[in-house]
């Protein structure tokens, strides 16, 4: 299938892996965060981590729990805007939304401001088709962190890792676009205009693993208040604490790996998810569990493999 098969070519993948091995410097560690659950999924599903040298470490960003919970990044915001506008045009009285759309660059700011030790980002794929890659330029100029926008196929991710390693080796911090077949600097102007017409910024929003992040989410503009479930219904915000054993927050900050959670694969599994990273196949813990081939094993077998 065009745009799929050529990005899953094993021979090409081995060539990129060889280039990564050759160009990464053994004297240093490369800590690279993939922001999106789609990248986390590709890394686990295609065994990309196994193709990387030990000093090239992938850190799973906050995208996975966001994408699997009833929340949406910039990718899903334009369709919501279309639905709200249509509801207004038809004068519907039985339609409302509880808006939890969040913003990727704000979360990246929070990650860097929180002091997470990262050398560069594999930047969002689908989000960037909407917002373009210009909004990430601040991370290169102000934080001196390279960003490479990458698609979700395995060769996209591997090429982005190689591009990041080259930037880091050169002492460069730029936004580069590996996903040229879908992303431009400016993004989708029509979708952006729709979102601006229907939504405005929230002062703050609480993210799993990141805490409260200012200006990181959207709400409906007053002109569309008739469709705002927060105004129409009594739906007070209820904070739900993570299970005390759950290490999702540390995993999303790159401080721990899924298998370092005491209940990974035993109490917490895709059939019985305890934390947000296990809820869907794109969560970091679910991806590790599924593609680490733990499925079907007993608790004691899993414990012996992850300890």
> Residue numbers of the site for ligand SF4 (CB under 6 A)?
243, 245-248, 251, 258, 261, 263-264, 268, 274-275, 277-278, 285
| Smaller CB separation from ligand SF4, 41 or 126 | 41
For ligand SF4, the closer CB: 162 or 302: 302
User: DSSP readout, 231-274?
Assistant: HHS-------PPPTT--HHHHHTTS--GGGSTTBTTTBBTTB--
The residues near 129 (Cβ < 8 Å, ≥ 6 apart) are 75, 182, 183, 187, 188
Could you tell me the smallest distance in angstroms from the CB atom of residue 303 to ligand SF4? 13
Cβ-closest residue to ligand SF4? 275
Q: Which is nearer to ligand SF4, 217 or 268 (CB)?
A: 268
CA 230 to chain centre: 26
Shortest Å distance, C-beta 6 to ligand SF4: 34
- Residue with Cβ nearer ligand SF4 (49 or 226): 49
CB of 65 to ligand SF4, least distance (A): 9
Closest to ligand SF4 by CB, 130 or 261: 261
Rounded to a whole number of angstroms, the minimum distance from the CB of residue 259 to ligand SF4 is: 8
How near is the Cβ of 208 to ligand SF4 at its closest, in Å? 10
**Rounded to the nearest whole angstrom, what is the least distance from the CB of residue 264 to ligand SF4 in the complex?**
4
d(CA 71, CA 17): 35
Nearer to ligand SF4, 68 or 173 (CB): 68
Would you say 141 or 243 has its CB closer to ligand SF4?
243
CA pair distance 181, 161, nearest whole angstrom: 18
Pairing of strands 204-207, 211-214: antiparallel
Structure tokens at 156: 């996209």
Residue 268 Cβ vs ligand SF4, minimum distance, rounded to whole Å: 3
Q: Which residue's CB is nearer to ligand SF4, number 62 or number 135?
A: 62
Taking the complex as a whole, the smallest distance from the CB of residue 272 to ligand SF4 amounts, in Å, to 9
Spell out a b/e string for 166-181, using b for 16 or more CB atoms within 10 Å of the CB, else e: bbbeeeebebbbbbee
Q: What is the CA radius of gyration of the chain?
A: 20
Distance of CA 267 to the CA centre of its chain: 25
E-strand spans in the chain?
Answer: 30-34, 56-60, 120-123, 147-149, 175-177, 199-201, 204-207, 211-214, 218-220
Residue with tokens 């580069």: 176
Q: How many helices (H) and strands (E) does the chain have?
A: 14, 9
């Amino acid at each position: 299938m065009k745009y799929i098969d050529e990005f899953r070519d094993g021979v090409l993948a081995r060539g990129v892996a060889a280039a990564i091995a050759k160009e990464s410097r053994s004297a240093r560690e490369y800590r690279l965060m993939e922001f999106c659950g789609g990248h986390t999924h590709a890394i686990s599903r295609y065994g990309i981590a196994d193709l990387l040298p030990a000093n090239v470490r992938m850190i799973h960003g906050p995208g996975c729990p966001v994408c699997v919970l009833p929340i949406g990044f910039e990718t899903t915001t334009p369709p919501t805007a279309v639905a709200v506008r249509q509801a207004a045009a038809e004068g519907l009285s039985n339609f409302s939304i509880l808006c939890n759309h969040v913003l990727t660059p704000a979360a990246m700011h929070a990650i860097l401001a929180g002091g997470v030790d990262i050398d560069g980002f594999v930047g969002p794929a689908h989000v960037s088709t909407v917002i373009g890659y210009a909004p990430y330029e601040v991370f290169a100029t102000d934080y001196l962190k390279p960003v490479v926008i990458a698609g979700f196929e395995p060769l996209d991710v591997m090429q982005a890792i190689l591009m990041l390693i080259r930037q880091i080796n050169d002492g460069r911090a730029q936004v580069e676009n590996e996903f040229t077949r879908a992303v431009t600097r400016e993004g989708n102007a029509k979708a952006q205009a729709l979102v601006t017409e229907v939504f405005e910024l929230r002062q703050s929003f609480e993210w799993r693993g990141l805490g409260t992040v200012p200006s990181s989410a959207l709400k409906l503009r007053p002109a569309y208040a008739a469709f705002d479930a927060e105004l129409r219904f009594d739906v007070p915000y209820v904070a739900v604490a993570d299970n005390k054993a759950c290490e999702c927050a540390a995993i999303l900050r790159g401080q721990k790996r899924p298998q370092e959670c005491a209940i990974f694969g035993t109490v917490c599994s895709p059939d019985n998810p305890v934390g947000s990273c296990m809820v869907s196949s794109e969560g970091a813990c679910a991806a590790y569990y599924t593609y680490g081939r733990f499925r079907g094993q007993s608790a004691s077998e899993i414990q012996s493999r992850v300890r």
